[in-house]
Amino acid sequence: MRTAIPSLLVAAALTSAIPLLATPAFADPDALAKVVDGKCVPDQQSSGSPAPCKLVDLKDGYVVLKDLAGASQYLVIATDDVSGIESPTLEQPAAPNYFEAAWEARQDVDASLGRDPSRADIGLAINSVNGRTQNRLHIHVDCMRRDVVAALAAAEPSIGTSWALLPALLVGHPYRAMKIEAADLAAVNPFALLASGDPAVAADMGDQTLAVVGATFSDGKPGFYLLTDKVGATVGDLASSEELQDHNCAIAK
Please tell me the least confidently modeled range out of 9-18, 29-38, 235-244: 9-18
- CA nearest to 92, candidates 191, 194, 210, 200: 191
**pLDDT score at 205:** 98
Distance of CA 209 to the CA centre of its chain: 10
**pLDDT score at 11:** 38
Amino acid of residue 57: D
Task: Decide: 193 and 151 in contact? Cβ < 8 Å.
Answer: no
> Does the pLDDT at position 23 exceed 50?
no
> Does the pLDDT at position 8 exceed 50?
no
> Does the pLDDT at position 16 exceed 50?
no
**pLDDT score at 116:** 84
Q: What is the pLDDT of residues 194-222, one digit of tens each?
A: 999 999 999 999 999 999 999 999 999 99
**pLDDT score at 13:** 37
Band of residue 12 on the pLDDT scale cut at 50, 70, 90? very low
> Does the pLDDT at position 48 exceed 70?
yes
Letter string b/e over residues 117-155, b meaning 16 or more CB atoms within 10 A of that residue's CB: bebbbbbbbbbbbebbbbbbbbbbbbbbbeebbebbeeb
Q: Which residues contact 161 (CB under 8 A, 6 or more apart)?
A: 178, 179, 180
Domains annotated for the chain, with CATH where assigned, are 7-252 (3.30.428.30)
Average per-residue pLDDT in the chain?
Answer: 91
**pLDDT score at 25:** 44
**pLDDT score at 4:** 37
Band of residue 27 on the pLDDT scale cut at 50, 70, 90? confident
Q: What is the pLDDT of residues 62-113, one digit of tens each?
A: 999 999 999 999 999 999 999 999 999 999 999 999 999 999 999 999 999 9
> Does the pLDDT at position 1 exceed 90?
no
**pLDDT score at 26:** 47
